[in-house]
């Protein structure tokens, strides 16, 4: 029996040896030569963007072509808003601007042809950069990200003008005041300040407008009443208006823009126009105390709108109706827009709800159904930032000293003043004025607000399908 068993060593010796075998009697492991090259030489294909399947080819092609220009515009917006990493670029631009204004005649006389050649060279370099960015073959996700960043920076750059929410009446007053002060301006330009200095200081101020130190200085100076009075007489605009005016101005602007006014569009008097009010709650961490609403005097208020304008808290917020504390503002808009004389704001939502995603900045767990809640915890829905409200993250750490979260509540402008306030009587239900003309209504969940958390009884939103309200939302 023992002689019949094959000798494993003898059988291994009969197999042909590889170059790695040093002696005849050693046992060496042999690996397949087909697996390793195929794994190494396998070409990894780029992942396809999920947006590609749902985007029309013409739109995708246009976005890809616009990608290099978005990067260039975003770069310039970073410099203009002082949100770039290297501030020396801004310093160089200000020095070049000052030199060009002060020595404009000399530059044009002696170096005018060189300046034109330099402009052509810069255009050629810019065109080369565009070609290089196009050859990188960006995905739609890259294009969307670049477009979003560009829009955010553009909103920040234009916020000094858009935050004023000027109406036609304000523009008329500004124009009238400017024309009225023309003699004073002529005296200043002829006797005290030369036009070259005006151009120099105005340009430097605009270039430095978004600098952090200048923003803090403006806030400190703006707290002085004499400053607000001075600019009131200089422009004719009342900058010391009550809280929430920017929110209400945006709401009435949406109403006028929607064209749903019964006078303008001949629509049904029961057709409401919806507007979602957005308020941010801001807090600061103090050593030994923790998170409180006591902020520094020169920074944002504890409650602000999307443009960092001071707003009322969610507990004291009132709609601009004739019987509220903002009745004067309501009368002003009625005088400017007689088409809304019979309109009244009322709440669609029963209470303010916390946006758990913080406008999409926070990713919720896959098992969580609702993106909003009416009863959040004290630390829920916050974005944490550093001491100067930069570098926002979802995680709290010792280097984070500020935080903010987003509250939303939808109101509607109805043209039937006899309809009761939804937030006070029957929430989430829109009732028709004439019961004889009521039609069968169909309950359906709101697309904007989901059900409450599992700890609460779910309260679906009931809407009148016959009314088909137009829903709008303010943008940042």
Distance CA(385)–CA(361), nearest Å, equals 13
Spatial distance between the Cα atoms of 134 and 337, rounded to a whole number of angstroms: 49
Looking at residue 140, what is its pLDDT? 82
Query: pLDDT tens, 89-103?
Result: 999 999 999 999 999
Q: What is the phi/psi pair of residue 470, to 5°?
A: -90, 120
Residue with structure tokens 């600098």? Answer: 211
The strand pairing partners of 344, in sequence order, are 414
Residue with token string 């939804």: 422
If pLDDT is split at 50, 70 and 90, which confidence band does 151 have? very high
Q: Where are the domains of the chain?
A: 57-159, 165-235, 273-415
For residue 164, which of 228, 230, 241, 219 has the smallest C-alpha distance?
A: 241
Please state the rounded mean pLDDT for residues 71-75.
91
The pLDDT of residue 52 is 62
pLDDT digits (tens, 9 = 90+) for 433-463: 333 333 333 333 333 333 344 444 343 333 3
Mean pLDDT value across the chain? 74
The pLDDT of 313-320, averaged and rounded, is 84
Chain centre distance of CA 422: 30
* Cα–Cα nearest to 383, from 354, 407, 417, 358: 358
Is the pLDDT higher at 324 or at 148? Answer: 148
Q: Which residue has the higher pLDDT, 226 or 439?
A: 226
Tell me what pLDDT residue 310 has.
80
- 10 Å CB burial of residue 308 (0-12, 13-18, 19+) is middle
pLDDT at site 40: 46
Question: Percent of the chain, pLDDT > 70?
Answer: 63
Q: What is the pLDDT of residue 168?
A: 73
Distance CA 355, CA 371 (A): 6
- With cut-offs at 50, 70 and 90, classify the pLDDT of residue 65: confident
pLDDT higher than 70, residue 11: no
Whether 290 shows a pLDDT value over 80: the answer reads: yes
3-state secondary structure of 418: coil
Q: ∠ CA 309-311-312 to the nearest 5 degrees?
A: 170
Residue 291: pLDDT above 90? yes
Question: In terms of pLDDT, which residue wins out, 67 or 417?
Answer: 67
Helix (H, G, I), strand (E, B) or coil at 88: helix
Task: Give me the DSSP letters along 130-188.
Answer: HHHHHHT---HHHHHHHHHHHHHHHHHHHHHHHTT---HHHHHHHHHHHHHTHHHHHHI
How far is 428 from 451, CA to CA, in rounded Å? 12
Is 126 a residue whose pLDDT tops 70?
A: yes
């Amino acid at each position: 029996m023992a002689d019949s068993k094959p000798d494993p060593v003898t059988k291994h010796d009969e197999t042909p040896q590889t170059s790695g075998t040093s002696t005849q009697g050693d046992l060496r492991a042999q690996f397949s030569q087909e697996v390793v090259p195929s794994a190494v030489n396998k070409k990894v294909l780029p992942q396809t963007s999920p947006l590609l399947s749902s985007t029309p080819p013409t739109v995708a092609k246009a976005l890809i072509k616009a990608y290099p220009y978005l990067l260039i515009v975003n770069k310039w917006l970073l410099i203009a808003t002082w949100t770039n990493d290297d501030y020396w670029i801004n310093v160089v631009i200000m020095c070049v601007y000052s030199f060009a204004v002060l020595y404009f005649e000399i530059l044009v006389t002696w170096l005018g042809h060189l300046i034109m050649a330099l402009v052509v060279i810069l255009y050629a370099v810019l065109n080369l950069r565009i070609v290089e960015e196009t050859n990188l073959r960006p995905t739609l996700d890259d294009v969307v990200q670049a477009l979003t960043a560009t829009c955010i920076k553009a909103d920040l750059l234009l916020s000094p003008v858009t935050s004023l929410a000027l109406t036609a009446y304000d523009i008329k007053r500004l124009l009238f005041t400017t024309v009225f002060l023309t003699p004073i301006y002529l005296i200043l330009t002829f006797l005290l300040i030369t036009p070259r200095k005006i151009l120099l200081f105005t340009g430097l101020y605009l270039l430095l407008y978004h600098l952090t130190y200048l923003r803090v200085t403006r806030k400190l100076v703006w707290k002085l009443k004499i400053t607000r009075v001075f600019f009131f007489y200089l422009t004719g605009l009342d900058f010391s208006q009550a809280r929430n005016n920017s929110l209400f101005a945006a709401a009435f602007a949406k109403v006028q823009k929607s064209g749903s006014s019964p006078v303008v569009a001949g629509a049904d008097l029961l057709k409401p126009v919806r507007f979602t009010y957005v308020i941010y709650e801001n807090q600061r961490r103090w050593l030994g105390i923790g998170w409180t609403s006591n902020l520094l005097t020169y920074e944002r208020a504890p409650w602000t709108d999307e443009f960092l304008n001071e707003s009322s808290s969610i507990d004291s917020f009132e709609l601009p109706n004739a019987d509220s504390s903002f009745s004067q503002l309501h009368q002003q808009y009625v005088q400017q827009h007689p088409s809304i004389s019979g309109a009244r704001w009322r709440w669609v939502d029963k209470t303010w709800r916390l946006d758990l995603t913080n406008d999409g900045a926070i990713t919720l767990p896959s098992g969580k159904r609702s993106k909003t809640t009416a009863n959040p915890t004290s630390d829920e829905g916050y974005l944490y930032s550093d001491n100067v409200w930069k570098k926002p993250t979802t995680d709290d750490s010792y280097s984070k000293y500020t935080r903010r979260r987003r509250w939303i509540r939808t109101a509607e402008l109805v043209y039937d003043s006899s309809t009761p306030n939804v937030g006070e009587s029957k929430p989430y239900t829109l009732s028709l004025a004439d019961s004889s003309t009521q039609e069968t209504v169909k309950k359906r969940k709101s697309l904007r607000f989901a059900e409450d958390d599992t700890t609460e009884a779910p309260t679906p939103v009931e809407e009148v399908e016959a009314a088909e309200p137009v829903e709008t939302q303010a943008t940042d």
